[in-house]
Amino acid sequence: TKGHAGVDVLLQEAKESIEAAQNYRSELQQRLHGLNQARKQIRGSSGQARETLRKHFAELQAAATRLLAERLANLLTEVDTIEADSIKPLDDCQSLIEHGVGQADELLREGEAALRCGLGEKEDKLGSFTKKAMHIQLDSLPEVPALVDVPCVSAQFDDSLLSLLRDRVARHGAVSSHPPVQIEELQERPGSILVRWCKVDEDFAAADYRLQYRRSGSGGSQYEDAYIGRESEFLVLHLDPHTDYLFRVCARGEGRTEWSPWSIPQTGYTTLAPHEWRSGTEGYILSSRKNIALRNDSSQSRCPVLYSKAPTYFCGQTLTFKISASGQMDRRDSLGVCIDSESEEESLQRDQAVCISTNGAVFVNGKEMTNQLPAVTVGSAVTFDMEVVSLFPISNNNTSEGGNFKLRVTIGSGNREVVFDWLVDQPVDCLFFGCSFVHSGWKVLVF
């Protein structure tokens, strides 16, 4: 038996060693896979960079050749024009002179004939010759321009172009081993993802950032812009839960028009269902995604609170109500968070709820606080943040007093916020939200 026990121990040790070796091998294989991915990224991006450089410089070369050819053609045309314009008066002058020479030749011939003819005709011939000679004006000579007065065409160049070009070309284009911005964090939110990014290159002065996203997978969907601006975080809305999305970001330098290279795409997804208003509530119409509600009918004498479809607000998150249209204000209006959604009340200004009225008054469990926030108008964003502060021990003697669970609530609106503790009857980690408006025209997006 002793020998048996020894074998068992050895067997056990061998099994453990085999298992350890298998784990070690799979860990190493994973690292090899990681190395291959890294090599692929370096090789792939280098190949793309080469391709981009070649294409760009070939286009530049073609454009420069075209520009130079156009400029040469323009200058040659200028030479042609000067030449043609300057030769024309010379040609005119030549015609005049040639005409004069012809006339003089004819006169000479006539004069010589008159001298040679017999005495009988001589007087007539000499008379008509003299008349003709007087008519021609033998002393009128056309003006021929001096050489200093006619064009002497030449071409000049400014030597600075080549040195300017050399200077600019020497600085044109850049190769970087890393994009100047990278995605730092992807945080899941209800039906959305909060994307945060940061600069990797400290010397890069960013004027704007640009965030794009697309569905992951073989759907072949294109990247689309989600945000362009100065902020370094953005909440991308309208995402389907349990679906992978790819995010990438780039930046534009101060005073530049072109965007930097894209960051390495990061995959993110949300497991949290989007916030939705409850369908079928009297007095409200909802958008197709059920995240926008419009109060549409004020003819009713009373209108119930519009609640969320489910308790989708969790402590630790930020809930935002964005007002995109407004109606007439009433002090009974409310936007807020509550424990239950069964209540038939017409406002969240009631027990087990916290809310803000459109006039900025804050209510906790139905009681108005002294602190007030700015009135709610078009473009207002009202935010609710909650965290659990304390749980009181529930013993038989103090349950009747209630208030055994405390939440620290922060309501923000228009750069102002109020912070208070809210006592509720039972421990909760997920809450309903709701709104109520006495008058029609109010439109609220929740996220």
Burial of 250 (0-12, 13-18, 19+ CB in 10 A): buried
Lowest mean pLDDT among 15-29, 122-136, 231-245, 395-409: 395-409
- Give the pLDDT of residue 299: 55
- State the average pLDDT over residues 408-427: 90
Confidence of residue 301 (pLDDT cuts 50, 70, 90): low
Mean pLDDT of the chain: 88
- State the average pLDDT over residues 172-176: 88
- State the average pLDDT over residues 26-40: 95
- Give the pLDDT of residue 393: 56
Asked if pLDDT for residue 218 goes beyond 70, the answer is no
All structural domains of the chain: 12-171 (no CATH), 181-270 (2.60.40.10), 284-394+401-446 (2.60.120.920)
Tens-place pLDDT, residues 109-120: 888 887 888 777
Asked if pLDDT for residue 400 goes beyond 50, the answer is no
- Give the pLDDT of residue 273: 86
Would you give the distance in Å from CA 259 to the centre of its chain? 9
Higher pLDDT, 139 or 263: 263
Confidence of residue 214 (pLDDT cuts 50, 70, 90): very high
Higher pLDDT, 220 or 354: 354
Burial of 196 (0-12, 13-18, 19+ CB in 10 A): middle
Residues of the chain above pLDDT 70, percent: 94
Confidence of residue 176 (pLDDT cuts 50, 70, 90): confident
- State the average pLDDT over residues 219-225: 84
- Report which of 254, 162, 265 is spatially closest to residue 223, judged by C-alpha positions: 265
Higher pLDDT, 327 or 129: 327
